Structures are given as C-alpha cells and as structure tokens.
Amino acid sequence: MQRDMPGTLARLAEIGYREVEFAGYFGRSPEEVRRLLEQNKLTAPSAHIGLDQLPNWDRALDDAAARGHRYVTIPWLPENMRGTADGWRRIAAEFNRAGDRAKARGLVFAYHNHDFEFNRVEGIVPFDLLLAETDPALVQYEMDVYWVTKAGGSPLEYIRKHPTRFSMLHIKDSAGAPDHRMVDVGAGSIDFAAILRLDASQRGAIRHVFVEHDSPADPLAFAQRSFDHLSRLEY
C-alpha cells in the first residue's frame, strides 16, 4: 500500500474482494482514498484509528466519514494502560464517551482485540470487563479470531455469549498450538465456517469479515489464497 496504493487496491478488486479495511493512508487525503475506492468498486466500512487520535476525535470522525467509513476501530492499547482493573474500567468509560460522539455523527465505534486482553488482571479477564462495561448501543467489537484462539479463548463461546457485540471479524489462521504460527486462511486449524455458522444461527450480527496476516511472505498471494478458501466455505 505504501509503495503502490492504486495498484494494490486494483489487484484486490481483481481477486474479488469488495471490502477493505484501512490501517493508515500513506499520505493520501480523504478525497483521494474515496476516489480510489470508487474507481475499483470497493468500499472500506472500517478503518483502524489510533488511540492517540482521541484528543482530536471530532476531526478523526469527520475524516472517517469523508473516506466513506462507517466503523472507527481502535486497534491497540499501550501497555501502561493495562496494568489494573481500574485502568481497564477507565478504558471502558473512555470507549463509551468516544462511541457516543461517533454515534452523533452517524458512525460506529469499535475495538479490535489482541491476546493481552485475556491475561487476568486482579482476578478479571479484561476483555470480559470491556464487554460488560461498554454500552452495546455505543461500542461494537471487531473480533480477531486468531488472537482469541492464541490466548486460549473460544471465538465460538464469545459469539454464543454475546451474539450482538461482534459486528466485524478479523479472519487470521493459526498453524496450531503451541506456537500459533500465522498461516494463510484455510491452511491452519481454525474452523471459520463454524464461527460464521453460529453467528448466522443466532443474530447474524457479523457484517464484515477481513482476512489478515501480520507478515505474509507475499501479501497479494496471501490475499488470493485466502479469498479462494473463504469463497469455498459452506455455512
């Protein structure tokens, strides 16, 4: 994307993708991003927006709307915020405030997990605290299936217990315990069809699914193989 955003988006559209999610814009203005998406008949329902944008949140929300995003998704929390249960409660309260301001602009606030949210802090699982203390009307979640699995959690159990909270998924595959090496979607051990089937049988809350690999040897080859696998899934 940094070297060739137009070519990358064009190739993803050629593979068959219809939606993408941004994590940085590489110097492109909101108008340029939107134009490139339209040229390739793509939409970008979500973008990862750093927590450091909260002091300028209204501007970040306006830019997100200008790019055509619906979800503004916080992808990471710095380590110094995660050490206590009260710290996690403050995070939940901040998410509610940010979600309220997003909702006022017709946008949806979301949070994307890694595995650290499942490390117990003072007897609580932070991810469970976030789900309990954020307002479902203001805060949605983008479940990264790989990180939940790596942390020893069950994506199926979370979707079963919270059938309306996960509007997006990151589909990333694991070669299995103990190392959980990241692999192409479909080349690992995670049963994505079961996850999508469960959601469909409950509330059908999942609206968007994004494939991901943190460091693929060939990103576009990964995108092709992952698309091919997901296109064959039955659920």
32-50 pLDDT tens trace: 999 999 999 999 999 999 9
Return the half-sphere exposure (C-beta side, CA atoms, 13 A cut-off) of residue 83. 3
pLDDT at 232: 95
Mean pLDDT, to the nearest integer, of 69-78? Answer: 97
Within-domain flag for 197: yes
Mean pLDDT, to the nearest integer, of 225-234? Answer: 96
* Mean pLDDT (the chain, rounded): 97
Within-domain flag for 57: yes
Residue 3 has pLDDT above 90, yes or no: yes
Residues 6+ apart with CB under 8 A from 188: 173, 174, 175, 176
Mean pLDDT, to the nearest integer, of 88-104? Answer: 98
Residue 76 has pLDDT above 90, yes or no: yes
Q: What 3-state class would DSSP assign to 183?
A: strand
Residue 105 has pLDDT above 90, yes or no: yes
Within-domain flag for 114: yes
pLDDT at 235: 87
User: In total, how many domains does the chain have?
Assistant: 1
Residue pair 157/118 in contact by the 8 Å Cβ criterion: no
Within-domain flag for 128: yes
pTM summary value: 0.96
- pLDDT grade, residue 121 (50/70/90)? very high
Domain with 109 in it: what CATH number? Answer: 3.20.20.150
Within-domain flag for 188: yes
Within-domain flag for 195: yes
Within-domain flag for 83: yes
Residue ranges making up the domain that contains 162: 5-229
Within-domain flag for 234: no
